[in-house]
Amino acid sequence: MMLDGRVAVITGAASGIGRGIATDLLRRGMSVALLDMDDRVIDVAAGLASEGARAVGITVDVTNAASVRDAFGQAEAELGPPWLLVNSAGVLAYGATVEMPEADWDRVLDVDLKGVFLCSQAALRSMIPRGGGRIVNITSIAGRVARPTQIGYCAAKAGADHFTRCLSIEVAPQGVTVNAIAPGMTRSEMLEKVIERGSSEGALLALIPSGRFALPDDHAALVAWLASDEAAQVTGQVISVDGGQSLFQPIATAPRPSADPSGR
């Protein structure tokens, strides 16, 4: 896919989907800046770099413009200008809407939506003068299906989906494509927390027609293609990677009624 030598910046890269994407892109020859608020990202990047790949770990608060600016400046100084930005940083808060603390709402919207804006803005300031680039936003099928007690998360992901569409039109003349990947339930620390809260793994799997949770590699392969020259004409798309989960409405089973001998 001709990714060798190009630079990727990935947020939320200390764990989960972000880390999986970083690992995959490094295998494909890209240089990768791994960004995360969690300072474990420094050790993650060091471990990947020790395998011969060019990786740097940088701590960042994606909700703070100055922190984002500094992180992108460091990434460019150490690796070069970014060809690809993957906005993968995200948080989830639970709670009935009537009882949700304002701070929980603000935190989810700040990380999951404002962070996408700030990081995209920083990347575009480098991409546009150089005549091109790629932005891939990791959203969620929660942006298109309704989930009780996750209203902030659903609202933020829906916003990120439409942010993707709007930005794609704005920057298409500058050679930048903007797409989103909407994962379904994926093996990650976030899913483990859902299960720890009492959700049955079997019940969750029953919601996925393919019969398995997605893996970070399922998303990483699509990111790599969207980052390539082969996908130059693909922009403004929100692509679900969910094994059919967002299309599936299970029907509750019940005992079949006995036949009416009258035929009615």
User: Would you list the domain boundaries of the chain?
Assistant: 7-247
User: For residue 236, what are its two tokens?
Assistant: 């403004």
Cα→Cα distances 53→31, 48, 50, 244, 262, Å: 7, 6, 7, 35, 75
Whether the per-residue pLDDT at 254 is higher than 60: the answer is no
Phi, psi of 199 (to 5 degrees): -70, 135
Per-residue confidence band for 50, with pLDDT thresholds at 50, 70 and 90: confident
Residue 104's SS3 state is helix
The fraction of the chain above a pLDDT of 90, given in percent, is: 78
pTM confidence score: 0.90
CA geometry: angle at 130 spanning 52 and 19, to 5°? 35
pLDDT for the residue numbered 190:
72
Phi, psi of 53 (to 5 degrees): -90, 155
* Average pLDDT over all residues of the chain: 91
Catalytic residue among 72, 117, 153, 163: 153
Burial of 76 by CB count in 10 Å (0-12 exposed, 13-18 middle, 19+ buried)? middle
Per-residue confidence band for 192, with pLDDT thresholds at 50, 70 and 90: confident
- Annotated catalytic, 94? no
Q: What is the pLDDT of residues 134-167, one digit of tens each?
A: 999 999 999 999 988 999 999 999 999 999 999 9
CA geometry: angle at 173 spanning 170 and 177, to 5°? 70
Q: Which fold has domain 7-247?
A: Rossmann fold (3.40.50)
Q: What residue has token string 């994926």? A: 186
Q: What average pLDDT score do residues 36-54 get?
A: 93
Name which of 52-56, 80-84, 233-237, 256-260 the model is least confident about.
256-260
Per-residue confidence band for 97, with pLDDT thresholds at 50, 70 and 90: very high
